Chain A
Amino acid sequence: MTTADLIGKILQLLMGLAVFAVIVGLLVFFIDKAPKRGRDYWQLAGFLAPALILLAIGLIYPAFRTLGLSFLDKSGNFTFDHFIWAFTQPTAVRTLINTIIWVALVPTVSTILGLAYAVFIDKSRGERIYKALVFMPMAISFVGAGIIWRFVYEYKSAGREQIGLFNAIVVAFGGEPVQWLQTDPLNTFLLILVMIWIQTGFAMVVLSAAIKGIPTEQIEAAQLDGTNAWQRFRNVTVPGIRGSLVVVLTTISIATLKVFDIVRTMTAGNFNTSVVANEMYTQAFRASEVGRGSALAIILFVLVLPIVIYNVNVLRKQREIR
């Protein structure tokens, strides 16, 4: 990077912020000077216009266009080929199966681990530090996490000293080093492990807060009844945090369905590890198969849709109770 580049970039930033300030300033000026007739409407329009215009260009129009593209072949004729491809071609089917494995494993395992951990550390000394350690992966990028775990999975040929933790352990027990990320189907599970590593912290933080929200009277009452710790956990804690459990499960499911960066960084979808979000990118932006990419985006949308609707319903019910 030369100094000129840096100056150019700073200039861009300042100009961007300045132009933005001018736009907002003008907007507010016109809102306050709106014509008397239909003044309320002018003001409303002024406040809503920027957001609505951006949403129309950035989400609404593209969503319909993607839907259209998924049914058009390269010369612009209507076709089902892209969806047929997605559900019959072996590599594409493998992508769908992988996505299902991901969404079956990541939410359940991370939630169970996060819940167990939250219960274990509840009211223990140093709870904050315990929390920070497991929660930290949540703050870093999936790309960073990908590099961290690639290092753990690193392979050196047999006989050389292993620098990856996994292979070092395998060799220490007298095994042969394994090319973890190239070994199908093991590699998919190793990528899933990375996502679990990240999401457990999220589950733990939410569930820990929920556990602290359970009235102490309930737990004391259960204690007086002579229950043991497991019974209290099963019959008091879990019912008490059911709402949070649902939110955690659905939130992690959505994040898992859309997982892209981990697969991209660690294997780029090779060795049969691709998932829908990654394949969508590969098809649309690497292989110039815009139709196929769009079809995969639609499939992703359909997969996410029921979970989001369910989530919104839960949220609405919670609010009604309040």
Chain B
Amino acid sequence: MSSVAPADLPVESGKGEIELAVEHRRDGGKAKRVKQRLTSRGATVAALIIAVLWTIPTFGLFISSFRPAELILNTGWWTIFQNPGFTLDNYRDVLLSPSQSSPQLGAYFVNSLFIAIPSTIFPLVFASMAAYAFAWMRFKWVNWLFIFVFALQIVPLQMALVPLLQFFSTFLKPGQQWLNDVIPIIPVQNYLPIWIAHTMFALPLAIFLLHNFISEIPGEVIEAARVDGATHGQIFFRIVLPLAIPAIASVAIFQFLWVWNDLLVALIFSGGTQDAAPLTQRLAEMVGSRGQEWQRLTAGAFVSLVIPLIVFFSLQRYFVRGLLAGSTKG
């Protein structure tokens, strides 16, 4: 295979490998000549200004989250040197405080994580199975079906919400009730509807992206396995899945962040209590009800940002790929 790119991104090839491209270009002899840049000193200054402007809002919130409440509420964060103060109380308060009035984000953090993990695994498994079928089980009408699935991307999430909620309360609610009767520590309002909703909404794009990649696996590999008597199940698990890992990783990271950052699906399917609601929903609620308690909002916001930022800085290359590929989702 010539390319490791997960799929045909909606931009010309190799967009995902920005860092690689940069380094590669620097190595080349030609690069030296071109190194006299397109732009001047003025451009550097402009870039610096934009970079600073873009960072200040986040930076201000970050600084504030470590300041004592009375300082946050009465002095600007930029006066930190005149009004010094450092505390971890805000984080302790939002995460661990047992008092009913505090946000108790710990529970919601667990929810976010437990929603995002299955909501990433489920659609990716089903999507890669479907992508394999679309790519390697050739029937005439299967192609049409694939185009139809691809076209489903134009249905905005908003169009599905009302009927899906009605559907869930008719067919899923009794099951959740029954589960609660059998195992009382699992609340009636459990994660199941959110998992299913996220899985459904992720499928069209995931199928499309994985299909692009899986269909580029050389035909000889798969033919050889068939001649040796491998079944479709074996080919899928032993050959296709291992080869598709880079593509699956990119799509998975994108999907994970999408679910982690989602508010709309959660608002409608989670029920809103700490039984199942994720961080984003709790934070949005806090903004509504305690919009002035900045000591809590700042720390709370950073609790929700920490996982995306870790993913972003550690897996930036995969993330960029997944994002470029997945940016039309929703």
**Real complex partners, A and B?**
yes
Q: Interface residues, chain A, CB within 8 Å of chain B?
A: 1, 4-13, 16-17, 20, 24, 28-29, 31-32, 40, 43-44, 47-48, 50-52, 54-55, 57-63, 65-67, 69, 113, 116-117, 119-124, 127-128, 130-134, 136-144, 146-152, 154, 160-163, 165, 168, 197, 200-202, 205-206, 208-210, 212-213, 216, 219-220, 229, 232-233, 237, 243-244, 247, 251, 254-255, 258, 260-261, 264-266, 268, 277, 280-281, 284-285, 290, 293-294, 296-298, 300-301, 304-305, 308-309, 311, 315, 318-319, 322
Q: Enumerate 28 A-B pairs (CB-CB under 8 Å) in ascending A order.
A: A13-B118, A16-B192, A28-B233, A44-B142, A54-B200, A54-B203, A55-B152, A58-B164, A58-B199, A58-B203, A62-B160, A116-B46, A120-B39, A122-B38, A123-B38, A128-B19, A140-B58, A144-B283, A147-B297, A148-B57, A151-B294, A209-B14, A210-B12, A261-B263, A265-B287, A268-B288, A281-B158, A300-B158
B18 interface contact, C-beta 8 A? yes
B94 interface contact, C-beta 8 A? no
Q: Are A308 and B154 in contact (CB under 8 A)?
A: yes
* Cross-chain contact of A308 among B133, B139, B153, B284 (Cβ < 8 A): B153
Q: Are B11 and A209 in contact (CB under 8 A)?
A: yes
Interface string of B139-171 (1 = CB under 8 A from A): 100100100010011111111111110010000
Q: Are B14 and A213 in contact (CB under 8 A)?
A: yes
Residues of B within 8 Å of A31, CB to CB, are: 231-233
Q: Which residue, of A1, A144, A280, has the highest number of chain B Cβ atoms within 10 A? A: A144
B330 interface contact, C-beta 8 A? yes
Residues of A within 8 Å of B38, CB to CB, are: 119, 122-123, 219, 229, 232-233, 237
CB distance from A248 to the nearest CB of B (A): 8
Q: 7 nearest interchain CB pairs?
A: A58-B200, A141-B261, A1-B107, A47-B133, A8-B185, A139-B312, A62-B163
Q: Are A130 and B51 in contact (CB under 8 A)?
A: yes
Interface residues on B, range: 35 or more
Q: Are B11 and A244 in contact (CB under 8 A)?
A: yes
B221 interface contact, C-beta 8 A? no
Task: Tell me the complex Cα distance, A83–B293, Å.
Answer: 40
* Cross-chain contact of B110 among A1, A48, A244 (Cβ < 8 A): A1
Q: Are B308 and A141 in contact (CB under 8 A)?
A: yes
Q: Are A254 and B263 in contact (CB under 8 A)?
A: no
Q: Are A59 and B327 in contact (CB under 8 A)?
A: no
Q: Which of B258-302 contact A (CB under 8 A)?
A: 260-264, 267-268, 274-275, 280, 283-284, 287-288, 291, 294, 297-298, 300-301
Residues of A within 8 Å of B288, CB to CB, are: 268
B87 interface contact, C-beta 8 A? no
Q: Are A206 and B324 in contact (CB under 8 A)?
A: yes
Interface string of B162-196 (1 = CB under 8 A from A): 11100100000000000000010111001110011
**Identity of the chain A residue whose Cβ is nearest the Cβ of B64 in the assembled complex:** A151
A220-B34 contact, Cβ under 8 Å, with A63-B160, A147-B287: yes
Q: Are B54 and A55 in contact (CB under 8 A)?
A: no
A69-B164 contact, Cβ under 8 Å, with A147-B297, A165-B56, A206-B324: no
Q: Are B10 and A247 in contact (CB under 8 A)?
A: yes
Residues of B within 8 Å of A305, CB to CB, are: 154
Q: Are B305 and A258 in contact (CB under 8 A)?
A: no
Task: Tell me the complex Cα distance, A293–B304, Å.
Answer: 30
Q: Are A63 and B155 in contact (CB under 8 A)?
A: yes
Interface string of B92-136 (1 = CB under 8 A from A): 000000000000101100110010011001100111011011100
CB distance from B115 to the nearest CB of A (A): 9
CB distance from A45 to the nearest CB of B (A): 9
Q: Which of B71-89 contact A (CB under 8 A)?
A: 72-78
Task: Tell me the complex Cα distance, A20–B11, Å.
Answer: 35
Residues of B within 8 Å of A152, CB to CB, are: 57, 60
Interface of A is mostly: helix
Q: Are B39 and A255 in contact (CB under 8 A)?
A: no
Task: Tell me the complex Cα distance, A161–B126, Å.
Answer: 56
Task: Tell me the complex Cα distance, A219–B47, Å.
Answer: 22
Residues of A within 8 Å of B74, CB to CB, are: 160-161, 163
Q: Are A206 and B162 in contact (CB under 8 A)?
A: no
CB distance from B325 to the nearest CB of A (A): 11
CB distance from B147 to the nearest CB of A (A): 10
**Identity of the chain A residue whose Cβ is nearest the Cβ of B21 in the assembled complex:** A212
Residues of A within 8 Å of B287, CB to CB, are: 143, 146-147, 150, 265-266
CB distance from B45 to the nearest CB of A (A): 9
**Identity of the chain A residue whose Cβ is nearest the Cβ of B109 in the assembled complex:** A1
Residues of B within 8 Å of A208, CB to CB, are: 18
Q: Are B47 and A123 in contact (CB under 8 A)?
A: no
Task: Tell me the complex Cα distance, A127–B326, Å.
Answer: 24
Q: Are B237 and A47 in contact (CB under 8 A)?
A: no
**Identity of the chain B residue whose Cβ is nearest the Cβ of A146 in the assembled complex:** B287
Knowing that A9-B110, A62-B164 are A-B contacts, what are 12 other residue pairs whose CB atoms are under 8 Å apart, sorted by A's residue number? A9-B111, A44-B133, A54-B126, A59-B204, A67-B159, A144-B308, A147-B61, A147-B283, A209-B18, A255-B327, A264-B284, A281-B158
Q: Are A258 and B156 in contact (CB under 8 A)?
A: yes
